[in-house]
Every structure is written in structure tokens, then in C-alpha cells.
Amino acid sequence: MKFKFLSILAAATMATPVLADDHASGDPEAGEKAFRQCKACHQVGEGAQNRVGPQLNGVMGREMAAVDGFRYSKTLEQMGADGMVWNEETMAEFMADPRGYIKGTKMSFAGLRKDEDIAAVTEYLKSFSQ
């Protein structure tokens, strides 16, 4: 029963289509700048490795908690097991309030405050998902 809410949330997230108009179009160059806050724990690009946080190559469209060799929180592992995927909507909600979106996350970062930064980082991450 502990994960009943998460299962409902997962079902709702998977059933809700994400339209292109739902999120502001982000600028990957601005995203690279905003991503500097993330670099202490995450890497992207050629040779990216897990650090305090998982490497983020290919994160967009990937099932949650799916990077081999990284130890995720039990909640995030359950969300991945329930089929939840990182997309524009889930990433935006997580980046805005990591601990509010995923209870028990190991991520200590409080979140990005500006919608423009969230959209820009999302576009930046997409550039490493192709």
C-alpha cells in the first residue's frame, strides 16, 4: 500500500498526453548555462559517468531509475518499475521541486526556480538523448 499513490500517479502520468504547447520552448544554449548548477552531481556528453547523481545521456524518453550501476532511492526505483518515463512534463515537475515530486529522492538540490531555466535545461538534455 505504500506505493499506491505512486501507482496512481504513474498511471495518470502515462495516460496524460503531453502536447508540445504544454511547455515553453527552451533554448539549449541557455540550458547549458543553467545546467552548470547540475554539474556538481551530473555529467552529460561523451565519457559522462555516474557521480553523486547518474549521468544524464539519453535521459529524455528513458524509464526512471534506469542507469546501470547507479543506486536510486526506493521511490524512484518503484516509479521506474511502474513504467514512468522522463519526458518534458515529468522532468519539469522534478526540476522545479525534486523532493516534492519524488518523496525520498536522494537529490539534495532544491530545484530550479524559473520556468525558462527548466525549459532550457530540458532542451539541453534532449540534445544528449539522440
Q: Whole domain around residue 111: which residue ranges?
A: 25-126
95 located within any domain: yes
* 88 falls within a domain: yes
Domain count, the chain: 1
Answer yes or no: is 6 within a domain: no
Q: Tell me the whole-structure pTM to 2 decimals.
A: 0.77
How many other CB atoms sit within 10 Å of the CB of residue 71? Answer: 10
Establish if 91 belongs to a structural domain. Answer: yes
With respect to residue 69, please indicate whether it lies within any of the assigned structural domains: yes
The answer as to whether 4 is a domain residue is no
Q: pLDDT tens per residue, the chain (130 residues)?
A: 334 444 444 444 443 333 333 344 567 789 999 999 999 999 999 999 999 999 999 999 999 999 999 999 999 999 999 999 999 999 999 999 999 999 999 999 999 999 999 999 999 999 998 6
Other Cβ atoms closer than 10 A to 77:
14
Does residue 120 lie in a domain region? yes
CATH number reported for the structural domain that contains residue 35 in this entry? 1.10.760.10
